Amino acid sequence: MASSHPPQQGAVVVARSALLTLTATPSDHTLALRVTRLADHRLIAGQGRVTATLDGRPVSLTAEPGGAYLLSRSGGGGTQELRVVVAHDGIRELLSGTVTVPRHRSALESLEGHGMAAWWVLNVAVILIAVIVISRHRR
């Protein structure tokens, strides 16, 4: 179930204990968490072995086949306190640290980020609609 894996590129160490290391790897819309044993560098893997909270609120984690846990988030991004409880070797261990959660951009924010191009598209769409309405009204 658990296997030995090299560190992921872009991974940041969030917390470390005498037995475990917690790393986080950000991507566009997710945060992948990995818990590794220090003794043999094996991942703690499997559904239900790791639970997490962000700023004191429980978040759901999805266990991936490769040993990562994908953090499901439904709010703003930014720097937040992460607390992870790991069940391993008959004990439960708490690891905590600070992570930067990628911010989920809405469609409106994406349009705002593209500036003038979005305004030109909107203007052309309004003109086309006006032409269609006027041509139908004249018939």
pTM here?
0.65
Query: Residues of the chain with pLDDT > 90: what percent?
Result: 37
Contacts of 10 (CB under 8 A, 6+ apart): 25, 26
Question: Which pLDDT belongs to residue 3?
Answer: 46
Write the pLDDT tens digit of every residue in 75-123: 566 788 999 999 998 899 999 999 877 665 555 555 555 667 777 888 8
Contacts of 67 (CB under 8 A, 6+ apart): 2, 3, 5, 34, 43, 44, 45
Do residues 35 and 50 make contact, with C-beta atoms less than 8 angstroms apart?
Answer: yes
What are the residues facing 79 on neighbouring strands? 100
N-terminal to C-terminal alpha carbon distance within the chain: 72
Do residues 61 and 55 make contact, with C-beta atoms less than 8 angstroms apart?
Answer: no
* Total Cβ atoms within 10 A of residue 50: 21
- Statement: residue 12 has pLDDT above 50: yes
